[in-house]
Structure 1
Amino acid sequence: MLKHRLIHPEISAILARAGHHAKVLIADGNYPASTKRGPNAELVCLNLAPGLVTVAQVLETLLTAIPVDNVNTMGIPADDPYAKYGEPPAWDDYRQIVQAAALPVSLTPIDKWQFYEAVNSPDHVLTIQTGDQALWANVLLTLGCRVD
């Protein structure tokens, strides 16, 4: 019986095989998950309906089950029309989730194109596609080491 909140069998199996430095993408509903993923990444679709499930819900659940060294968001290029609005509201939610999980990391945006490159890495093991409708809501986790 599992003690953490993650009960999805396929996601659990992929994470159990993953090691230090493995990357997990939690993708919003706008992310091109069928074409932008690493050569070793498996795709699990949790996009039940628009808004279901959200990146924040998946992030909160995953953090009960895995150690994380880095939490990256897709940074907004300065020439993108959305850039004039500042950080997306979802990022504050992610910071609160990371803080509540007592992780000694901070949310770090990386440039959109570098984000795609990071996802294209052979270390990318899993994309979880959500139905999140928030813009710029993608989160890339880099797994850490289990210390207990």
Structure 2
Amino acid sequence: MLKGVPSMISPELIKVLMEMGHGDKLLIADGNFPAYRCGEKIIRCDGVSISEILNAVLYLFPLDVKVKKPVTLMNITADETPPESWEWYKKIIAKNHAAEYEFDYRDRFEFYEKAKESYAIIATTDISYKGNILLEKGVVR
């Protein structure tokens, strides 16, 4: 154990977060996301919500302030209401980062292609509708 590291951050996950460099992407995926089709480095985080692991990761993980939209979500159709989880994500990001960020929204298959650029995917069993969130890593100053 280490002091100050959220308990849901496994040794495997902390290793991956430390390996990542500026501009690398990390996907936190819901239980329906085809993680094993979209990535090679998969870290299981079962029984934990995306909001919980997002909060734990962002405690350690800087978002890229040099890009306009370092956070990407899977878009909804025109007739859908934005998922409640998106508001949670905004609050979690605001709590952990001083800068305000715009989100990038990608249609389903475009999101899958962008997810393939991820350095790693945290695969959860969360069933939040369109809960996937892709983060671009910044630098520690």
Aligned to 1:5: 6
Matched ranges for 1:108-127 at <5 A:
108-121=104-117, 124-127=118-121
2:75 matches 1:75: yes
Deviation at 1:135, TM superposition (A): 1.2
Deviation for aligned residue 1:112: 2.1
The alignment's C-alpha RMSD in Å is 1.6
Runs (4+) of structure 1 exceeding 4 A deviation are none
Please list every run of 5 or more consecutive structure 1 residues that lacks an aligned counterpart in the other structure: none
Q: TM-score, normalised by structure 1?
A: 0.82
Cα separation, 1, equivalents of 2:84 and 2:103: 13
Residue of 86, 95, 105 corresponding to 2:90: 95
AA matched with 1:93: W
Check whether the contact 1:95–1:107 (CA below 8 A) recurs between aligned residues.
no
Alpha-carbon distance, 1:94 to partner: 0.5
The offset of 1:103, in angstroms, is: 4.1
* % identical aligned pairs: 29
Number of equivalent positions: 133
The residue correspondences of 1:5-84 to structure 2 (distance < 5 A) are 5=6, 7-37=9-39, 41-47=40-46, 52-69=47-64, 70-76=70-76, 78=77, 83-84=78-79
Q: Cα 1:141–1:84, aligned 2, differ >3 Å: closer, same or farther?
A: same
Give the unaligned 5+ runs of structure 2: 65-69
**CA displacement at 1:3 relative to structure 2:** 2.6
Residues 31-84 of structure 1 show CA distances to partners (whole Å, capped at 9, x for unaligned) of 0111122xxx4101112xxxx2111111000000111121111112x3xxxx52
Equivalent residue for 1:139, pick from 110, 133, 138: 133
For residue 61 of structure 1, give the secondary structure of its aligned residue in structure 2: helix
Q: Distance in 1 between matches of 2:21 and 2:49?
A: 25
